[in-house]
Chain A
């Protein structure tokens, strides 16, 4: 056979599939590894001891082939080969959490019905042993009629035996690769029957003391009705603080490096058009964005930690009542939390939501969570216009305003959810049914890999989108150049000046200058661009020596306080970036919802900015 055989990893959620996948494929993976649960299939390749290349598919966790939610449907359709251009995997490796075997037996029985060769890899056997479990591997293999391999994916134990087994499987089973897979949805009675069989296998092969001691001890505190909420709020506050304080040192470092580059170029090059492009367009623009990489990475670090330790499910548990009051359930909170980093992984995480309206609502409110791309705008305006004063002695005024902006976003998200679910669709929330996984120690390597991946994506994104946009902005704002007898700054005569003046009347009532208007248009490409764009537009005549202070001093002289606050208010709701809109179109399979989102956020943003501008103007008078 010429084509490379494909094998898929299947298993219940939280069984360590992704860890095993990382170990087996080392670095030969293709697609995204966003923080949070696997919600899309990932493909990688491995080479067996006999030198055969095998493609390995990592699938989202599932308890059955019934496909209750979009991520479970991805798993089912991959296994059954229902995707158009994809053939079904020739074999399956079923991954089980050794401390939680009963459910996997039922899944195995279901998978055996589709007649594909199957290997059972029992993961986390070390933890199981510590918890007093004793698994009779040989008996299990006989009862199930499939090879059973005990492994510890984290410590790479048992991987060689697993690879040898894959070799054996490929050799013996290449013949029936082209069989059609026949699968019929089991009835609930059949599920019950297979449970009986699963329980029999469980009772004969596994001796357990049923000891969830550690997890239960931790949960006694973390799920305590009162302490649980205190700890939850405390950890969110800690994350928030960490994002802004830990990053300060790194941010200063990055700024210093960029300033050094700028002064070097200024020394080396004569003042000309090219120098202006390099300094004002490229370095200043990119520098303004790279500065925020530390904050984004710290935020992602915490989200990965919440997910990997198993605390995320507890967060969903604690917040279920709150989410229930607006017609969603606790599960919706997880994508919303991811959206604080970036809306895109947030939208992907909604695939675990089973009810379609719940999922749509979550997708539509996720952009109201303040994503990290808005941090640059917030930080810039707050640090320029809000004095560094302390409030009641403890809280910094700047920090409080930042916190308020996040809070407003969350409150409006809940209001929008309430309106959509309760008033428009007249729906109560779908049932909340969620497994609470055992607590696990997060793995340094997996986290480091994931963060590294985020950093490269961010920098590549800058490389492609932002760099091109910055050059475009520079070009549009430099040409055509001002006439000889010009009295105003040259930018007023450029293409960008013309566009800005044309659209400006729409934004004048909310206090935005034409320069802001132009920057907002570019902000739709990527929000991170706005600060860079403002920098370029304002700084074209001034040679920027220091990216940040120059822009800050420019803003302080050009903008009034109401304008600055109106822009902050605008950015709480800001019409979405292109990537978000494309993602919504992709996830909802329609144009209607992305258009709806754009309009509703635009209206909210306009109203918020309008009110803020006029109220602030009245107050300072």
Chain B
């Protein structure tokens, strides 16, 4: 066996190849106009991420600014109810209230190393927009966030936060005026302003974004490993559960466990009103191979390849695609893909609030919502990634208080 061959075999199956492919998924399907930008990033991102200077700055900010490590909390009452040891990875306790900031801090540092001073981002519910605006305020960078006109109306508090943080919020007026269109508009702006750095919020987009974002979110599973060892004596849980829209919090929670076959990975998509209702965002169940935002992945589309608008009560999960890593985890059957409806997510959110005193984000509530659907064996150790807190969803929660 040649050295190259040995090295190749040692490499994780779940890392992209040199062209950004996870199996048949990934790549960089971008117009020539974006080639220099994406190429610049591709040529430099690993070197930057692995440099001592970056690691020092990134880790110090995660510790002192974000408040990491985020606790791994044994939810005793929840555990008792479902007959398993259920640990919550408390990403909701991060500064800005979700896992998104792990990525924005990392990418802003990358942007600075590349000499970029203007940041653009897309946002759906506004969590990534807020996390981007926050780090831009911290670093003194100009920040422009694209957000669907419909989402701007639905998520007023986050729009106000971004503005207070000094970001410019540009409404996306095209298409369905939600996350997909905000991303389109951000890409179009990037084409016209190639000096800007596009800070993508999930493990989506052209290579190297999915890999870069996954590496920046990998801190979640890195911490789970040592935290779980401290608590149980073992690094590996039996099961990890995370919600998936684009898939960044799941990518982070799965990252260091992907090659450990004994760890069961469960991805939970938004079922909306039900997978077969026509109002759903369960991409793996409803999608087929297709290209969105520069990546070949599983995509919700009609028979002519027109992208279909997904639906979910959660603005952070209604993306018609899924990151290419997740498409591969699904296709290779490494991860199990479940889904939870709006109603199941609401019920789970109320349950966690009432028995643990934690109000989860609607997105994270989808991950919790599959607990009743799984038959746990005795002493099963389960980690649920609690990706965000529920403050932003209060109006939705209050509306359903009576139900």
Whether both chains belong to one complex is answered with no
